[in-house]
A and B are shown apart, each in its own frame.
Chain A
Amino acid sequence: AQTVTQSQPEMSVQEAETVTLSCTYDTSESDYYLFWYKQPPSRQMILVIRQEAYKQQNATENRFSVNFQKAAKSFSLKISDSQLGDAAMYFCAYTGANSKLTFGKGITLSVRP
């Protein structure tokens, strides 16, 4: 079975600074997708970024980028120029052949003004 591990329960970053959220996963599949989701206090799940395993190029979305290391099964999220609105819970997630999303435990990110 696939597992997703987010070992840091909380992180804090100064506004305008950069922060990296860690995620590792375990799978025997070769074709899969990885995601980072943001869950603000409203609890609406928001897609931050998506990475296809077959793509070597790291995905980027404006201030958000990933460092995808397939061999190491690592998928970290970098948030640049952090903003107060980035404060939320962030989940790393995996999906493969069975189409089910497997989530990590999540990390609570706070942004200091």
Chain B
Amino acid sequence: GAVVSQHPSRVICKSGTSVKIECRSLDFQATTMFWYRQFPKQSLMLMATSNEGSKATYEQGVEKDKFLINHASLTLSTLTVTSAHPEDSSFYICSARAPPYGYTFGSGTRLTVV
């Protein structure tokens, strides 16, 4: 089946630094990638939608300059959390459309900003 590989699985960074999270589709071409944020015991909140070769579309309330999304190829999308602060600590998950299976998810990244 379609697999999305997400790295790193855990990252701890200092406040003010930037962190990059990568999602790669391993056996299919992901023209569209979705990025979610999830707090403990809560649902997934869509942050943005990225399409290969074009600018990402951000959901209302998501800071574009803080959460930079790049989808430069059909197999790689990245989320960079810039100037991270403790309130950015969360679980970030990517997802790609993978017909006919629907949607496939990365394993998630637990970001802790200290």
Q: How far is the CB of B89 from chain A (nearest CB, A)?
A: 15
Interface residues of B in 37-60 (CB under 8 A from A): 38, 41-44, 46, 49
B residues in contact with A35, CB < 8 Å:
102-103
Measured in the bound complex, the distance between the Cα atoms of B95 and A35 in whole Å is 14
**Binary contact track A70-113/B, C-beta < 8 Å → 1, others 0:** 00000000000000000001010001000111111110100000
A residues in contact with B49, CB < 8 Å:
100
Known contacts A33-B102, A43-B108, A47-B101; A101 and B46 CB within 8 A of each other:
yes
How many residues from B make CB contacts under 8 Å with A? 20
Say if the beta carbon of B81 comes within 8 Å of chain A. Answer: no
Measured in the bound complex, the distance between the Cα atoms of B91 and A102 in whole Å is 18
Known contacts A45-B105, A47-B101; A108 and B41 CB within 8 A of each other:
yes
| Contacting pair A43 B97 (CB below 8 A) | no
| Contacting pair B101 A43 (CB below 8 A) | no
Interface contacts beyond A89-B41, A105-B42, A106-B43: sample of 10 additional A-B pairs, CB < 8 Å, sorted by A: A43-B38, A43-B93, A45-B44, A45-B93, A45-B95, A91-B43, A99-B32, A100-B46, A101-B34, A101-B95
B-side residues, CB < 8 A to A, are: 32, 34, 38, 41-44, 46, 49, 91, 93, 95, 97, 101-105, 107-108
A-side residues, CB < 8 A to B, are: 33, 35, 42-45, 47, 50, 89, 91, 95, 99-106, 108
